[in-house]
Amino acid sequence: MRSTNPVNNEIIREYKEHTPAETSVIIEEVHSEWLKWKETTFDYRAGLFRNAAKLLRERKDTYARLMTSEMGKIIRESQAEIEKCANACDFYAEHAASMLQDQIIASDASRSLVVFQPLGVILAVMPWNFPFWQVFRFAAPSLMAGNAAVLKHASNVPGCALAIEEVFRDAGFPANLFRTLMIPSSAVKNVIENPFIVAATLTGSEYAGSEVASAAGKQIKKTVLELGGSDAFIILEDADMVKAVKTAITARMINQGQSCIAAKRFIVVESRVAEFEEKVKQTMESLKMGDPLDPQIDVGPMARKDLVEEIDRQVQRSVSSGARLVLGGKQADRPGCYYLPTIISGIRPGMATYHEETFGPVISIIPVKNEEEAIAVANDSEFGLGGSVWTEDLKRGEAVARKIETGAMFVNGLVKSDPRLPFGGIKKSGYGRELSDYGIKEFVNIKTIWIA
């Protein structure tokens, strides 16, 4: 297992994988720790999470540089990601106890109540694109609820995986409460079959999600899946184009477009297409590409060479099918995993970027006649993670948002995750929810107690 710098494809460090026997020992140690951890109080756990938040902020620059070096995120986005993790730790430290307090419910009993109790050791299979945030948005609620965890992180960010384990250890958490498994994807099935693993959560591809769900289903173990997305960015005729374009660039280019909730299908009414194309092109042309550790840079490398090749294939297939190339459309002429910011327009059904998730810096514009067609196109997808609609009529925006088949819709705003709000998708974007009180209750036993 190794980490490779996508700026120059040089190996940063190689790591020794855990053997099956070592993996089993780690899981058993975590289970043993959980038996003690589940008896701790919310106040005790909250104190440790506040320590973790403090450490994350103190080490923000160090962890941000590690993240950028391993997967190419520009440094200011890496720094913001660390801060977001710290905020999640603080949020659940503050609110977990009230979210999981006993609920008294009137029934035919003299007293009946619902209590929320931890399940045990949760397996987290996490991706490389937000290597700290994806882990903390699971770990903060799960550990505050009284669970323990083992992490199988993406193979190209092992340094980030160990750094997260370091945060918990240095914050004062028991050493074996949260452990990293240095294992290949092929070993995940055996981990799920381990009797001490009670549930699994995965953020990743459809294929990975189906494999984990299948393995867990055979063991009758719960899963939460957050998979791909092809979010619609709908621009109606009365949209504020200046605000829409500014957000569109951020929504598409964050993390070089390598985000499940990045805007991917830009559905624009025909009367505004030319204006949108021109304004987006002007801004995209001004973006600075270079070393992601340079705070002045807007566009860094993609995470791996194969991802560059895949996004280029999708663009070329769409152009070959009749799409119009407005900007970019090729790999950058420089070492590393760079792809030029790209705009393709005239996208219609049958083209690659109409149907497939595009994980890279590519804006695909789909012209539509009106609001009704915009809704139909937005729902014409196997995915259902997030989306946004742009209109000056807020009642109209809410009405459209209610009709889009996704786990979240934003009116005149950037799609994002927030600890206060539930996050997750439908269709092939997965099931279950993370964050908020909905997320913390995914991995607890919701137990009824009835007293005569």
Instruction: Indicate if 240 and 210 belong to the same structural domain.
Output: no
- Write the CATH number for 195: 3.40.605.10
Position 99 pLDDT exceeds 90:
yes
Contact 53, 90 (CB under 8 A): yes
Please name the amino acid found at residue 441: K
3-class secondary-structure state, position 268: strand
Model confidence over 329-385: pLDDT tens digits? Answer: 999 999 999 999 999 999 999 999 999 999 999 999 999 999 999 999 999 999 999
Per-residue pLDDT at 79: 98
Instruction: Indicate if 214 and 236 belong to the same structural domain.
Output: no
Instruction: Indicate if 208 and 99 belong to the same structural domain.
Output: yes
Instruction: Indicate if 237 and 144 belong to the same structural domain.
Output: no
Model confidence over 402-423: pLDDT tens digits? Answer: 999 999 999 999 999 999 999 9
Instruction: Indicate if 304 and 348 belong to the same structural domain.
Output: yes
Residue 417 located in a structural domain: no
Compute CA distances 353 → 302, 365, 388, 406, whole Å: 18, 9, 18, 19
HSE toward the beta carbon, residue 250, CA cutoff 13 A: 12
Model confidence over 245-265: pLDDT tens digits? Answer: 999 999 999 999 999 999 999
Please name the amino acid found at residue 439: G
Please name the amino acid found at residue 87: N
Instruction: Indicate if 134 and 21 belong to the same structural domain.
Output: yes
Residues near 189 by Cβ (< 8 Å), separated by ≥ 6?
Answer: 211, 215
Residue 436 located in a structural domain: yes
CA quadruple 213, 217, 223, 229: dihedral, nearest 10: 30
Q: Rounded distance, CA 88 to CA 111, Å?
A: 35
Contact 354, 347 (CB under 8 A): yes
3-class secondary-structure state, position 433: coil
Q: Rounded distance, CA 308 to CA 340, Å?
A: 10
Confidence of residue 322 (pLDDT cuts 50, 70, 90): very high
3-class secondary-structure state, position 147: coil
Instruction: Indicate if 183 and 328 belong to the same structural domain.
Output: no
- Give the residue from 239, 332, 343 showing the smallest Cα distance to 281: 343
- Residues of the chain above pLDDT 90, percent: 100
Compute CA distances 448 → 110, 135, 425, whole Å: 14, 30, 28
Residue 420 located in a structural domain: no
Mean of all residue pLDDT scores within the chain:
98
Position 11 pLDDT exceeds 90:
yes
Domain count, the chain: 2
- The residue-averaged pLDDT of 236-253 equals 98
- Give the residue from 419, 423, 442 showing the smallest Cα distance to 89: 419
Strand-pairing partners, residue 116, are 446
pTM of structure: 0.97
- Residues of the chain above pLDDT 70, percent: 100
Instruction: Indicate if 181 and 260 belong to the same structural domain.
Output: no
Per-residue pLDDT at 135: 98
Residue 422 located in a structural domain: no
Residue 423 located in a structural domain: no
Instruction: Indicate if 92 and 206 belong to the same structural domain.
Output: yes
Position 1 pLDDT exceeds 90:
no
List active site positions: 226, 260
Confidence of residue 93 (pLDDT cuts 50, 70, 90): very high
Confidence of residue 5 (pLDDT cuts 50, 70, 90): very high
Give residue 98's domain range.
2-227+429-451
Residue 424 located in a structural domain: no
Residue 32 located in a structural domain: yes
Model confidence over 22-72: pLDDT tens digits? Answer: 999 999 999 999 999 999 999 999 999 999 999 999 999 999 999 999 999
Instruction: Indicate if 281 and 170 belong to the same structural domain.
Output: no
Instruction: Indicate if 140 and 72 belong to the same structural domain.
Output: yes
Q: Rounded distance, CA 278 to CA 316, Å?
A: 21
Residue 11 located in a structural domain: yes
Instruction: Indicate if 195 and 68 belong to the same structural domain.
Output: yes
